[in-house]
Amino acid sequence: MTNEKIINFDLDGTIADLYGVPNWLDYLINNNPKPYAEAKPLVNMQVLARLLNKLQNKGYTINIISWLAKNSNADYDKAVTNAKRKWLAKHLTSVEFDNIYIVPYGTPKHEISNGILFDDEIGNREKWGKGAYDVDNIIGILKAM
């Protein structure tokens, strides 16, 4: 895989405000996918969609790499995967992601893809190395590409 034209996004805490949903952790502990469905966007989705479509037209691959809940089971994993895919379809309707990887909690993201990663989790950014960004300036970084 070459890394020049691949952009990867985490969901929870990066572009979806999972942690802003009241009682989000209680829902997850009780295998309820509600927070994944109800999370509000953390960036302007219209601007993000336009930028992602523009970058895809320039040859960029656009991926989602998102973890499932910690200590989950197969049925809950399916419900969470479905909720995350529906969230993306609702909030980024015009974007056709090249890959949507929804993987077990703790899966090393740098083993799934390369290129650029936007992720709120510092550990993921550290393991990713060069090209890993936090959530502070997603739109600005994408505009500069």
- How far is the C-alpha of 41 from the C-alpha of 126, rounded, in Å? 24
Q: What is the mean pLDDT of each run of 10 residues along the chain (145 residues)?
A: 79 97 96 97 97 97 96 95 98 97 97 97 96 95 95
Distance from the first to the final alpha carbon of the chain: 20
pTM assigned to the model? 0.94
Q: Specify the CATH number of the domain 6-144.
A: 3.40.50.1000
| Domain regions of the chain by residue span | 6-144
Residue 118: enclosing H or E segment and its boundaries?
strand 116-118
- How far is the C-alpha of 42 from the C-alpha of 58, rounded, in Å? 25
